[in-house]
Amino acid sequence: MVPAAAQVLMATVNHHRHAPVDAWWVGLGLALGLVVTLWRRPNWFIHTLIHETCHLLVATALLVPVHRLVVSDGRGGQVEHQATGPLRSALIALAPYTLPLVLAPLLIARALTGEGTARGILSAACALGYITHLTGLFHNLRLNLRDATGDLARVGRVLSLAVIATVLQLVTAWTCAVLWSGTWHAVAVVPAWVVPGGQPSMSSPASAPEPQTGPAAAPPAPDRPAAIPALQPEQPLEPR
């Protein structure tokens, strides 16, 4: 699954070999994200809140009852949920490492916004959100990768890293597709050009037949009854 996600990402990059639509706004968001990341330490309460909220949302989406949510500042957090099968347990455990909780709403809003200042601001917010997503993922891995009782150890570190790498590449491709496109329909053609050798195609409703541009054709002649031959008068018979 990692190579397939890499193919999607490379196809996305190759398809958008030009500057983003709102290049200055995107650059501003990236610069702001880097400054914030390098200048100040993370807010561990917000980081933990986002982490545990991802657990909570995925558990709720999978119909797994949640008993308790604990969030602290610098001392970690916990989501206690009802015991469930291995698949749903793995999805819940990996949610904070795969779910772009902050970035996804920004990307959707950006894709649905028309040209203007609002779209530019959302482009900057998406770039900032992507940097924030990478920063949060880095800290999640740094704090939990070696924990023997953590999320990754329960799922399996190798499998967890493979899933995380796959989703990260897909999230990156989605971010590029949104920021390098101006409208929602441009994002919707991703499956067409991900296929090797494919071309983007847009489905459109059937168009009406084009009107004739040449000289108008003469209207058809009305139906007329067939001509009846004239009757010849009968000749009188000659007497014999």
8 Å CB contact between 166 and 7: no
pLDDT value of residue 218: 54
Instruction: Give the whole-angstrom CA distance, residue 177 versus residue 67.
Output: 39
Host H or E run for residue 195: none
Tens digit of each residue's pLDDT (9 = 90 or more) over 89-134 = 999 999 999 999 999 999 999 999 988 999 999 999 999 999 999 9
* pLDDT at residue 239 greater than cutoff 60: no
Tens digit of each residue's pLDDT (9 = 90 or more) over 119-176 = 999 999 999 999 999 999 999 999 888 888 888 999 999 999 999 999 999 999 999 9
Average pLDDT, the chain: 80
Residue 91 makes CB contacts below 8 A (sequence gap 6+) with: 58, 62
8 Å CB contact between 29 and 127: yes
The fraction of the chain above a pLDDT of 70, given in percent, is 75
The DSSP string of 2-47 is: HHHHHHHHHHHHHH--S--TTHHHHHHHHHHHHHHHHHS---HHHH
What are the sequence ranges of the domains in the chain?
Answer: 2-194
Q: Is pLDDT larger for residue 167 or for residue 208? A: 167
Instruction: Give the whole-angstrom CA distance, residue 66 versus residue 141.
Output: 24
